[in-house]
Amino acid sequence: MLTFIDESGYPRPTDSTKNPILLGVCIHENDIKPITNQIYKLKDSIYGKQDEIKSTKLIREATITKNRTNNKAYVEGMVDIISSYDAAIFAVIMDKPDEPIIVPEHHLPKQYYLLLKKVEFYCNHHHYGKAMMIFDEVHEDADRKIAEAITGFLFKTKFGRSFHHILEMPLFVSSAVTPAVQFADIFAGIVRHRQKAGNLPALNL
């Protein structure tokens, strides 16, 4: 199982996003090749040869409400693709904090713990094997902190050692060259849009 993870906004007082999102898309490894092929075909049919299209450009009011936009067609196409496979999507919706959140060094932030817990339960419930966490890379320092926090949680905490389905070392990839990560980006944008409309509960960190 591969879990592609991306964020929409960050839980800090200075962030412009009222409700940051951390989202993971779980896809069977055997489905990655046909899914990637469908994404390339979809993008080429709508936009031609173009680099990655971020959800901040796709998930806008015009994208959601107007029928004659390439962006709407692309988002709907991506939803259709993932809906045709045995995949799962988990999202952690947060309230923007009033004060900076202090996370001790090497400790796993709460939103990541909750996402790992969801993936662990999902894999255990469906009798799947190991799940690899694949993140959209940010920058080296931030990625290293998350990798060390996840590894430390899984190896050094009693509760983390009970997670038998999460591979201990996450991967960090460029979403521009890893199409499946774009699912996480787009669905995080969709969830953010729904939350903005007041339809979903949020977590107070």
Residue 144, burial from CB neighbour count under 10 angstroms (0-12, 13-18, 19+): exposed
pLDDT score recorded for residue 183:
86
Task: Tell me whether residue 148 is exposed, middle or buried, using C-beta atoms within 10 angstroms of its C-beta: 0 to 12, 13 to 18, 19 or more.
Answer: middle
Q: For 2-196, which CATH superfamily applies?
A: Ribonuclease H-like superfamily/Ribonuclease H (3.30.420.10)
pLDDT tier, 105 (very low <50, low <70, confident <90, very high otherwise):
confident
pLDDT digits (tens, 9 = 90+) for 9-21: 888 888 888 888 9
pLDDT digits (tens, 9 = 90+) for 138-191: 889 989 999 999 999 999 999 999 999 999 999 999 887 888 888 898 888 888
**Segments making up each domain of the chain, as ranges:** 2-196
Condensed to tens digits (0 to 9), the pLDDT of residues 129-147 reads 999 999 999 889 989 999 9
